Structure formats: structure tokens, C-alpha cells
Chains A and B, each alone.
Chain A
Amino acid sequence: AQSVTQPDIHITVSEGASLELRCNYSYGATPYLFWYVQSPGQGLQLLLKYFSGDTLVQGIKGFEAEFKRSQSSFNLRKPSVHWSDAAEYFCAVGPNSGGYQKVTFGIGTKLQVIP
């Protein structure tokens, strides 16, 4: 069965500092991997996704993530955090197959940005 672990429930960074959110997954083959962001009172929005090719994936809002098969990780990074990045971030894994995907979400990492 597929699973996702986000080891950090809450992270605080200073505005302008770099950010890395950790994500580890469990899946038998090469999975589809996603990062979603949820602003307070809102639904989830896709930041980026990986399913093949270049292991460094660029997303919206200046985020990127790197797929590392050997470490079963898909960490999210941003070089300089803005106050508007304060939100909750969800890593997700889906099966590499056709048809409806039962995507499994992590429990989320809540990001606080301080001035």
C-alpha cells in the first residue's frame, strides 16, 4: 500500500530565509508525486507534480521539488520565503497506472513565516 510521511507538522521560518519541507513516500514502483498548498479557509491548490523525466520539478510561486528514488523522498524547496507563503503544505502520492487514482495525502506541514 502507498503511504506518505511528512515528519514536520509545524515549521517556522523568517521571511527571506530558505525553506525545505520534507516528504517521504512508500510505493512499490515509480509513483506520481504531488505537492499541494492550502491557504487558511481555502481548498488545496497544486504546486507541482512529478511522474517522469527530470527529477527536479519546478512549480508555481517559486517552489521546486526534487525526486530522489534512493531516499524515497520528494522534498519541497524555496530559496526565499515570502509572508504570503504561510499556509499548510501537503505531499501526496498516487499510483503509476491508468484510470482513477486513489491519491494518498500526508498529514500536512503548517508553515509559519515571521518577519
Chain B
Amino acid sequence: NAGVTQTPKFQVLKTGQSMTLQCAQDMNHEYMSWYRQDPGMGLRLIHYSVGAGITDQGEVPNGYNVSRSTTEDFPLRLLSAAPSQTSVYFCASSARGDSGNTIYFGEGSWLTVV
């Protein structure tokens, strides 16, 4: 099984450019999330979705947009990249149901904004 697939793995952007990080899962999970990982900060939730057509903000949503047109896909858009958005981004998914369901992570996307 592919699980959670993210692309691209590495990206360098110039300040002000826009881009989309792609995320797809093949486990038919209802819940999907985007996190960013920064040294000394752990993982912080950017946006999440509880199903197709439903998204909500997490802890650090500013500068990012998401949409969920299908169960499988959950792209993250950076509208106007800033150096503060240099980070490692992880897409994740989990099944709806009882709390405590395992969160499955993609392998990460390393983004540098110069």
C-alpha cells in the first residue's frame, strides 16, 4: 500500500512565489491534516479536514490555504511564500471513529524559501 504520498519531496521557492504541496492517501481515511515541523517546536497543525468539502484551521494557519474536493486528496497552498515558511511539511491521515486512531504520515516535503 502507498499510504500517504506527498510531492514534491524538496522545493526551493523565492519570497512571494506561490506553490502547492500535493497529498494523497489510498486508505479511504476521512481525516486529513497538514503539519509543519520546525526545530525545537515539534509538529504544529496547519489545517485539517474531516471529510470532502470540509476544512478547518489548526494552530498555525496563516499564509496557507487548503481544499478537500475528494476523500483522497488534500493539497496545501502557499499563496505568497515567506522565509518564515521554510520548514518540513507533513501530510497525515486517520480514520474516522473512536478516538485514538493511528495517524499515518507522509514522508515529508522539505521547503526552503529564500
Residues of chain A having any CB pair with chain B under 8 Å: 4, 9, 32, 34, 36, 41-46, 49, 51, 90, 94-103, 105-108
Interface of chain A, helix or strand or loop or mixed? Answer: loop
Binding site for A on B (CB under 8 A): 4, 31, 35, 40-45, 48, 50, 58, 90, 94, 96, 98-103, 105-108
Q: How far is the CA of A41 from the CA of B102 in the complex (A)?
A: 21
Are B100 and A45 touching (Cβ within 8 A)? no
Verify A105–B42 contact, CB threshold 8 A: yes
Residue of A44, A51, A107 most packed against chain B (CB within 10 A): A44
Bound together, the chains give a CA A102 to CA B43 distance in angstroms of: 11
Of B41, B43, B58, B100, the contact of A51 (CB 8 Å cutoff)? B100
Q: Which residue of B lies closest to A50 (CB)?
A: B100
**The one of A36, A42, A94, A106 that contacts B100, using a Cβ cutoff of 8 Å:** A94
Residues of A within 8 A of B107 (CB): 41-43
| Chain B residues closer than 8 Å to A102, beta-carbon distance | 45, 48, 58
Assess the A43–B102 pair: CB atoms within 8 A. no
Q: Which residue of B lies closest to A46 (CB)?
A: B102
Beyond the given pairs A41-B108, A98-B98, A102-B45, 18 more chain A to chain B contacts, judged by CB atoms under 8 angstroms and listed by A's residue number, are A4-B42, A9-B40, A32-B100, A34-B103, A36-B105, A41-B107, A43-B106, A43-B108, A49-B100, A51-B99, A51-B100, A94-B100, A95-B99, A100-B50, A101-B99, A105-B35, A105-B42, A107-B40
Once the chains are docked, how many angstroms separate the CA of A4 from the CA of B43? 12
Inter-chain contacts of B100 with A (CB < 8 A): 32, 49, 51, 94, 101
Cross-interface CB contact of A90 among B43, B44, B48, cutoff 8 Å: B43
